[in-house]
């Protein structure tokens, strides 16, 4: 009804305008009015009732594996007026983002950008650009992220070899080198922060092994960046990526990634074009001003507000300092560990040094339905915690205190909610 009324008013205005002019113009306006009337009658789908209501979003404590709560300063940055994605001011912001990523990654790599998309976009970008159909790749799998990379590589025609452990298991450097010697991959993948299991995997020495065997080293730090130390250049990591929505505390939708010179030589000397046009680094390197050309050409429209947010989140990290950020996550998660153990809960990763500071996993307590526990916590405390993901489903519950949420007061909220759920949810007698 609203739509018909709006169109009727538009038609009336056209009629009134034509009536005030000479009759020849009015005569010429008649076909236009007929077309307007016909277009009105062709609209058969009414406006959806949900779109006529204001947007409502609940306030919740996001204490899961991400996204995390966004601080007011970053929300304010996202609300800045939109500018053109190819304006000089936008290029300056993108240059700031590049330098912020270089600091966060501890790298001097020129080929450093932020993907327009979530961490999966960076994951696909890394594989699509450095691997060609038929080439051998080796993927370490000890949770869901290795599984995802393996599937991506298989879809684009790579010869995928898997190095597998149960969720939470880690690979020794000897195991990795033996597998690389056997399969002779062009790329080896490792998740530094395997958030589905709560593991922070050791990285030292693996980059050296990959260089020895002429293999690129790809590392996922989506869940670990800003919470656990990583040194891209010192640890000889060839490709590193992360996501905006974890310890960086920006909204989901941007994904920093960096390629060193070894990766660039492989990437820009391909025999075939990358599978994806959107993720083709030949174009993205120009869009981000990394290819040395004097002008940036249009490739795609980047998420302007998302880049505002990412720039602000990287600025906050730079102001705080990486060492202070790592220290804060270590202190708060130690406080959380003690509280969990006091509740009689078992930490899933036994070795303390292998636990991911940003995402803590606890073994599902005996006799409880983990879904009921999490639903109770959400309903009565407005707190999000999650169960496992991929191969860890049914094995763990996950608590994330990262970035803005990394405070002892939030650990107390999480612990009180868990204690309440354990007290009030039914426990089976078995």
Residue 29 lies in a domain: no
295-305 CB burial, b ≥16 within 10 A, e <16: ebeebeebbbb
Q: Which of 264, 298, 320 is the last residue of a domain?
A: 320
Task: Provide the CATH number for the domain around residue 195.
Answer: 3.40.640.10
- Strand bridging mode 216-220 / 193-194: unpaired
Q: How many domains does the chain have?
A: 2
* Alpha carbon distance 239, 210 (integer Å): 12
Residue 67 lies in a domain: no
Residues in the chain: 430
* Alpha carbon distance 113, 99 (integer Å): 9
Looking at residue 109, its pLDDT comes to: 98
The encoded tokens of residue 67 equal 């996204």
In this prediction the pTM is: 0.89
If 0-12 CB within 10 Å is exposed, 13-18 middle and 19+ buried, where does residue 385 land?
A: buried
* Alpha carbon distance 132, 153 (integer Å): 9
Residues 263 and 339 in one domain: no
Q: DSSP label at 228?
A: S
Note down the domain range covering 358: 322-424
Residues 262 and 360 in one domain: no
Residues 301 and 390 in one domain: no
Residue 352, marked binder: no
Strands (E), 251-313: 254-259
Looking at residue 428, its pLDDT comes to: 79
State what percent of residues in the chain have pLDDT above 90: 89
Looking at residue 124, its pLDDT comes to: 97
Task: Provide the CATH number for the domain around residue 402.
Answer: 3.90.1150.10
Residue 9 lies in a domain: no
Give residue-wise pLDDT tens across range 245-268.
Answer: 999 999 999 999 999 999 999 999
The encoded tokens of residue 173 equal 């450097």
* Alpha carbon distance 200, 107 (integer Å): 20
Q: What is the pLDDT of the chain when averaged over all its residues?
A: 92
User: Average pLDDT, stretch 165-181?
Assistant: 97
Taking a C-beta distance cutoff of 8 angstroms, is the pair 303, 309 a contact?
A: no
* Alpha carbon distance 162, 291 (integer Å): 34
Residues 186 and 77 in one domain: yes
Residues 303 and 347 in one domain: no
Looking at residue 43, its pLDDT comes to: 86
Q: Is the pLDDT assigned to residue 282 strictly greater than 50? A: yes
Query: Collapsing DSSP states into helix, strand and coil, what is residue 289?
Result: coil
């Amino acid at each position: 009804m609203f739509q018909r009324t709006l169109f009727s008013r538009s038609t009336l205005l056209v009629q009134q305008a034509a009536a005030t002019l000479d009759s020849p113009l009015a005569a010429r306006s008649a076909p236009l009015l007929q077309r307007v009337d016909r277009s009105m009658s062709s609209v058969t789908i009414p406006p959806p009732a949900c779109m006529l209501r204001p947007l409502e979003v609940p306030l919740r404590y996001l204490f899961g594996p991400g996204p995390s709560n966004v601080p007011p300063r970053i929300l304010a940055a996202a609300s800045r007026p939109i500018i053109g994605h190819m304006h000089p001011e936008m290029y300056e912001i993108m240059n700031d983002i590049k330098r912020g990523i270089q600091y966060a990654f501890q790298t001097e790599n020129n080929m450093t950008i932020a993907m327009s998309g979530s961490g999966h976009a960076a994951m696909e970008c890394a594989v699509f650009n450095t691997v060609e159909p038929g080439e051998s790749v080796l993927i370490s799998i000890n949770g869901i992220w290795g599984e995802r990379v393996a599937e991506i590589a298989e879809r684009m025609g790579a010869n995928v070899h898997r190095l597998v452990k149960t969720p939470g298991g880690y690979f020794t450097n000897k195991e990795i080198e033996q597998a690389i010697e056997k399969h002779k991959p062009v790329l080896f993948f490792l998740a530094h922060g395997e958030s589905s299991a709560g593991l922070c995997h050791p990285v030292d020495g693996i980059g050296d092994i990959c260089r020895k065997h002429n293999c690129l080293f790809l590392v996922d730090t989506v869940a670990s960046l800003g919470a656990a130390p990583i040194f891209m250049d010192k640890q000889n990591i060839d490709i590193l990526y992360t996501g905006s929505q974890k310890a960086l505390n920006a909204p989901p939708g941007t994904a920093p990634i960096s390629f060193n010179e070894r990766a660039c030589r492989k990437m820009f000397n391909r025999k075939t074009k990358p599978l994806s046009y959107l993720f083709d680094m030949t174009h993205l390197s120009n869009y981000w001003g990394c290819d040395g050309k004097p002008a940036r050409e249009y490739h795609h429209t980047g998420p302007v507000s998302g880049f505002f947010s990412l720039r602000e989140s990287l600025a906050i990290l730079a102001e705080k300092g990486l060492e202070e950020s790592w220290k804060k996550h270590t202190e708060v998660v130690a406080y959380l560990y003690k509280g969990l153990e006091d509740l009689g809960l078992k930490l899933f990763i036994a070795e303390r040094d292998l636990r991911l500071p940003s995402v803590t996993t606890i073994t599902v307590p005996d006799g409880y339905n983990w879904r009921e526990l999490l639903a109770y916590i959400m309903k009565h405390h407005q707190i999000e915690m999650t169960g496992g993901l991929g191969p860890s489903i049914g094995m763990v519950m996950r608590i994330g205190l990262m970035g803005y949420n990394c405070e002892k007061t939030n650990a107390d909220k999480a612990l009180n909610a868990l204690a309440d759920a354990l007290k009030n949810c039914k426990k089976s007698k078995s």
